[in-house]
């Protein structure tokens, strides 16, 4: 059976359209959750234009033609032609039993598995990770988890900035400092101090330039120094990934340097084929449809006039590698909105070159900026981009204050170690939740006090609802193996939400918008809380106690699954 209410009802409505109108009218029945009923279907308005009848008449005809079924309890037609649909408690109960018995809960695996490259996080070597990398890392990781759960093969690609002219000054600076003075702690300042020295000390600048030449020529000692620097940064990134609970591994790194050897041959190839040509001494490609302000074709610069290669040709090599070698059918670039044009040019070029052809596709998963409470770009007091590590530790500190107050209310002795774990889960969860909860292309305001709260649309609220459910289950000790009966409206509502996980996961898979799943978590947590407040569970009479415990278990597992797909930790106790 379809445990997904939207699927189940869609199948019925589709059949009714065929028998009522004699056409399927490519009818997506447009069934969705509703605040007027359990579900609503809006297709009559669209069909009206197609078959040239009034929406109301079409809606009535569909209702009249509905096959006999055990899913729908009743339907009302509302003007101009909405179908308001209520489901049978018995059906919900049976579907809940199926979900409860399955590892996958209410989520079906895809019937069309793909190979999905997700290009995300991509920090830069010898630089701090800042809020921009936070967004890419958090959004990319959530998408990786969601798509993997649907059964796609995920090829994580961490396109770190590990090559280019700055490495001359960085290596030279490290040599000056001596290896003993360049550990992870110094890493943060390395880029800045190297840059300052470069700008103020001409001799150092000259040495740096000579070092770049050595690096590009493959001088063994220079390469070794470079590798040490990359390695140190990589270990630093790994500490942050571990702290945030991000699934990226060392093996997922394929940074800019990875494509190094491919750049010169690629430039030759594109020049020889005539796809690229020399313009002002530089080798450029001109993908169709891009113009500068004067209306002249916009160049994708592949090789600078000094012979150097840059960001653009590296991305061309990368997209080719991902399609030809990794055999990606879907490529996601989780990169900030400012790179929209660059990525569009790269993707267009890949298409023009015949590397990227349907059904394979590349999508830019763009995101906006993180703003401070003053509505401007989030900056540290020193006027720099806020370091990711500082954001995390600040969030955890605040979460600890909130968690301690909450534990104090309960009047029980505080277990310090447990409190630290909770604070970490809530702090990290708060950062991820806030980042994922708004429409990603929009900017959002980083307001820690609101984010770490246990009330309202927050990670803490959802985590707390889950912990409550787990606490009930611990106290119950035994879980009777009985079906979930649906008697109360809050039970009906809760089961309906639980069974809706599959539809939301598919929405995220299609739109690449994790905020849909965040909203789902919040409404599910609210539905569980409403159930918990309205229905006695442990104290219920034996006949309903078992059913409510099973419902509590299913709700807890579903909430844990949904939060887990977002990468948000779910503590057992809070």
Residues that bind ligand ARG (CB under 6 A): 119, 122, 124, 159, 161, 315, 318, 333, 335
C-beta of 151 vs 336, nearer to ligand ARG:
336
CB of 258 to ligand ARG, least distance (A): 11
Q: How far apart are the first and last CA of the chain?
A: 37
Cβ-based neighbours of 409, under 8 Å, separated by 6 or more:
none
Directed axis angle between helix 5-21 and helix 89-100, to 10°? Answer: 130
Nearer to ligand ARG, 343 or 499 (CB): 343
CB of 321 to ligand ARG, least distance (A): 11
Shortest Cβ 568–ligand ARG spacing (Å): 24
Least distance between ligand ARG and beta carbon 121 (Å): 9
Q: Nearest approach, Cβ of 344 to ligand ARG (angstroms)?
A: 12
* Residue 308: exposure state from Cβ atoms within 10 A (0-12, 13-18, ≥19): middle
Helix (H, G, I), strand (E, B), or coil: what is residue 279?
strand
CB 33 within 8 A of CB 84: no
**Whole-number minimum distance, CB 170 to ligand ARG, in Å?**
15
| Least Cβ distance, residue 144 to ligand ARG (angstroms) | 15
Nearer to ligand ARG, 225 or 315 (CB): 315
Distance of alpha carbon 99 from alpha carbon 93, whole angstroms? 10
- Decide: 124 and 136 in contact? Cβ < 8 Å: no
Helix (H) or strand (E) holding 79: none
- Exposed / middle / buried, residue 176 (Cβ in 10 Å: 0-12, 13-18, 19+): middle
- Identify which of residues 251 and 543 has a Cβ nearer to ligand ARG in the complex: 251
- Alpha-carbon gap, residue 546 to 488, rounded angstroms: 15
The distance of closest approach from Cβ of residue 95 to ligand ARG in the complex, given in angstroms and rounded to an integer, is 42
| CB-nearer residue toward ligand ARG: 315 or 435 | 315
Number of C-beta neighbours around residue 572 at 10 A: 16
For residue 72, list its beta bridge partners: 87
Residue number with CB closer to ligand ARG (117 or 498): 117
Q: State the nearest-atom distance from the C-beta of 430 to ligand ARG, in Å.
A: 24
Residues 6+ apart with CB under 8 A from 114: 152, 153, 329, 330
Between 254 and 496, CB nearer to ligand ARG: 254
- Whichever of 335 and 345 has its CB closer to ligand ARG, that residue is 335
Closest separation between CB of residue 531 and ligand ARG, Å?
A: 44
Secondary structure string (H, E, C) spanning 205-273:
HHHHHHHHHHHHHCCHHHHHHHHHHHHHHHHHHHHHHHHHCCCCCHHHECCHHHHHHHHHHHHHHHHHC
Give per-residue burial for 20-51: e unless 16+ CB within 10 Å, then b.
bbeeebebebbbebbeebbbbbbbbebbbeee
User: In whole angstroms, what is the distance from residue 529 CA to residue 507 CA?
Assistant: 25
- Minimum distance, C-beta of residue 567 to ligand ARG, in the bound complex (Å): 20
Distance CA 376, CA 436 (A): 19
User: Is the CB of 61 or the CB of 313 nearer to ligand ARG?
Assistant: 313
Nearest CB to ligand ARG, comparing residues 136 and 529: 136
Burial class of 157 by CB neighbour count within 10 A (0 to 12, 13 to 18, 19+): buried
- The smaller minimum CB distance to ligand ARG, of residues 315 and 491, is found at 315
Task: Identify which of residues 10 and 136 has a Cβ nearer to ligand ARG in the complex.
Answer: 136
Q: Which of 227, 2, 165 lies closest to 92 in space, CA to CA?
A: 2
Q: Examine residue 216 and say whether the peptide bond preceding it is cis (omega within 30 degrees of 0).
A: no
**Least CB distance to ligand ARG at residue 539 (A):** 55
- Give the integer Cα–Cα distance in Å for 426 and 452: 7
């Amino acid at each position: 059976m379809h445990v997904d209410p939207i699927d189940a009802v869609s199948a019925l409505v589709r059949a009714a359209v065929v028998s009522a109108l004699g056409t399927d009218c490519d009818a997506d029945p447009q069934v969705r959750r509703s605040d007027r009923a359990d579900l609503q279907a809006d297709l009559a308005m669209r069909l009206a234009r197609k078959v040239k009848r009034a929406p109301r008449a079409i809606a009535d005809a569909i209702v009249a033609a509905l096959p006999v079924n055990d899913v729908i309890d009743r339907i009302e037609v509302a003007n101009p032609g909405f179908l308001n649909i209520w489901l049978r408690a018995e059906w919900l109960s049976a579907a809940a039993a199926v979900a409860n018995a399955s590892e996958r809960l209410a989520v079906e695996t895809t019937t069309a598995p793909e190979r999905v490259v997700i290009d995300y996080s991509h920090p830069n070597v010898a630089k701090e990770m800042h809020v921009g990398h936070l967004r890419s890392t958090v959004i990319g990781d959530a998408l990786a988890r969601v798509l993997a759960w649907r059964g796609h093969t995920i090829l994580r690609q961490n396109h770190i900035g590990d090559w280019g002219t700055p490495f001359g000054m960085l290596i030279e600076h490290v040599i000056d400092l001596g290896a003993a003075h360049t550990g992870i702690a110094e890493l943060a300042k390395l880029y800045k101090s190297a840059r300052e020295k470069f700008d103020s000390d001409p001799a150092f600048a000259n040495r740096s330039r000579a070092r770049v030449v050595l690096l590009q020529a493959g001088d063994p000692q220079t390469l070794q120094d470079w590798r040490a620097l990359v390695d140190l940064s990589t270990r630093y990134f790994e500490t942050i990934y571990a702290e945030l609970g991000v699934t990226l591994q060392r093996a997922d790194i394929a940074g800019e340097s990875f494509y190094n050897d491919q750049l010169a041959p690629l430039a030759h190839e594109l020049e020889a084929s005539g796809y690229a040509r020399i313009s002002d001494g530089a080798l450029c490609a001109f993908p169709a449809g891009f113009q500068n302000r004067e209306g002249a074709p916009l160049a994708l610069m592949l090789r600078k006039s000094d012979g150097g290669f840059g960001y653009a040709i590296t991305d061309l090599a990368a997209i080719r590698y991902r399609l030809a070698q990794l055999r990606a059918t879907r490529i996601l670039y989780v990169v900030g909105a400012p790179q929209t044009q660059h990525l569009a040019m790269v993707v267009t070029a890949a298409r023009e070159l015949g590397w990227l052809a349907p059904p394979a596709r590349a999508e830019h998963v763009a995101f906006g900026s993180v703003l401070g409470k003053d509505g401007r770009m989030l900056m540290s007091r020193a006027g720099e981009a806020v370091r990711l590590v500082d954001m995390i530790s600040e969030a955890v500190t605040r979460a600890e204050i909130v968690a301690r107050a909450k534990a104090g209310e309960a009047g029980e002795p505080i277990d310090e170690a447990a409190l630290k774990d909770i604070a970490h889960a809530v702090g990290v969860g708060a950062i991820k939740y806030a980042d994922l909860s708004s429409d990603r292309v929009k900017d959002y305001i980083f307001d820690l006090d609101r984010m770490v709260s246990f009330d309202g649309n927050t990670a803490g609220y959802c985590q707390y609802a889950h912990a409550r459910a787990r606490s009930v289950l611990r106290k119950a000790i035994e879980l009777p193996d009985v079906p979930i009966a649906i008697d109360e409206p809050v039970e009906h509502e809760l089961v309906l939400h639980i069974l809706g996980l599959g539809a939301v996961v598919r929405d995220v898979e299609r739109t690449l918008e994790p905020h849909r799943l965040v909203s789902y978590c919040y409404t599910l947590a609210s539905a569980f809380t409403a159930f918990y407040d309205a229905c006695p569970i442990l104290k219920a009479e034996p006949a309903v106690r078992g059913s409510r415990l099973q419902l509590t278990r299913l709700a807890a597992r579903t909430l844990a699954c949904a939060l887990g797909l977002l990468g948000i930790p779910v503590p057992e106790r809070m």
